[in-house]
A = this chain, B = another copy of it.
Amino acid sequence: MSDPGSRILIVDDEAGIRRFLHASLESRGYSIHEASTGEEALQVVPAFRPDLILLDLGLPGMGGKQVTSSLREWTQTPIIILSVQGDESEKIAALDAGADDYLTKPFGAGELLARIRAALRRVGQQEGGPVFVTGELTVDLVGRSVRLGGEDVQLTPTEYSLLKAFVVHANKLLTHRQLVREVWGGAHYEDTQHLLRVNISNLRRKLEADPTRPHYILTEPGVGYRLRAESRVSAAPSNV
């Protein structure tokens, strides 16, 4: 699963290349920002906070190598160098300045995208995963932690499995059958229907302020349950 909303900064002095890259990447769901000089790039980065930087080596004025060094003084955002030159000593210098990757033009759009994915994958796994938030409730599916108003909530494996099903299908109605299948696998429905009720009850006791009048886990009589969600999946607090 790729991270669709990643922000990418394109730094190149040629408008044609910027436009080409912009279109290619935007169609893949990335958010794009452009800069045409190294000085502009350094200004823009703190504001735009890109997840990755595509940097042309042959910029007028401050060169790509120098930009890389300046950025590396305070951020480890992945930098992929694009260059028309194939000279090896330049590659080495750029990589040692702090760049993560180096592509020589002309390159295939597919390869660039793959290298972008590889770079984003690396930083992605050291950050906390996406976090689901609604009201006081916070669920981190990657870290497998649940918090309620700042305090950790201890859930048993089945309870967590149940809550996970709700979070994945937030705001959608889940029938008894669907829930039973997601939590207990292919078990018979008839036998486990009551079990579902018991676990819903246990879960509510741990999550709801007043289990009699549930606020998060709503019951749809005769059909199933639904998790009330106000907000969307948001990124974890980035630790820079």
Contacts and interface: CB of A to CB of B under 8 A. Distances in A.
Interface of A: 76, 88-89, 91-92, 95-96, 98-102, 108, 110-111, 113-115, 117-118, 121-122, 125-126, 143-145, 150, 156-157, 172-173, 220-223, 232-235, 237-239
- For the complex, would chain A's binding face be called helix, strand, loop or mixed by DSSP majority? mixed
B95 A144 contact: no
Contact of A239 (B89, B92, B144, B150): B150
Contacts of A150: 237-239
Contacts of A234: 239
Contact of A92 (B89, B111, B145, B173): B111
A109 B126 CA distance: 29
A222 B157 contact: yes
Contact of A125 (B76, B157, B220, B237): B76
Contacts of A220: 144
Given A144-B223, A232-B239, A233-B237, A114 B100 contact: no
30 contacts: A76-B125, A88-B108, A88-B111, A89-B110, A91-B111, A91-B114, A92-B110, A92-B113, A92-B114, A95-B118, A96-B114, A96-B118, A99-B118, A101-B101, A101-B118, A102-B115, A122-B122, A126-B126, A143-B172, A143-B173, A150-B237, A150-B239, A156-B221, A156-B222, A157-B221, A157-B222, A232-B239, A233-B237, A234-B239, A235-B237
A113 B126 CA distance: 23
A191 B112 CA distance: 44
Task: Count this chain's copies in the assembly.
Answer: 2
Given A92-B113, A145-B173, 18 more contacts: A88-B108, A88-B110, A89-B110, A91-B111, A92-B111, A95-B114, A95-B115, A95-B118, A98-B121, A100-B122, A101-B101, A101-B118, A102-B115, A126-B126, A143-B173, A144-B220, A144-B223, A232-B239
A110 B88 CA distance: 7
A90 to B, nearest CB: 10
A117 B118 CA distance: 17
Contacts of A114: 91-92, 95-96
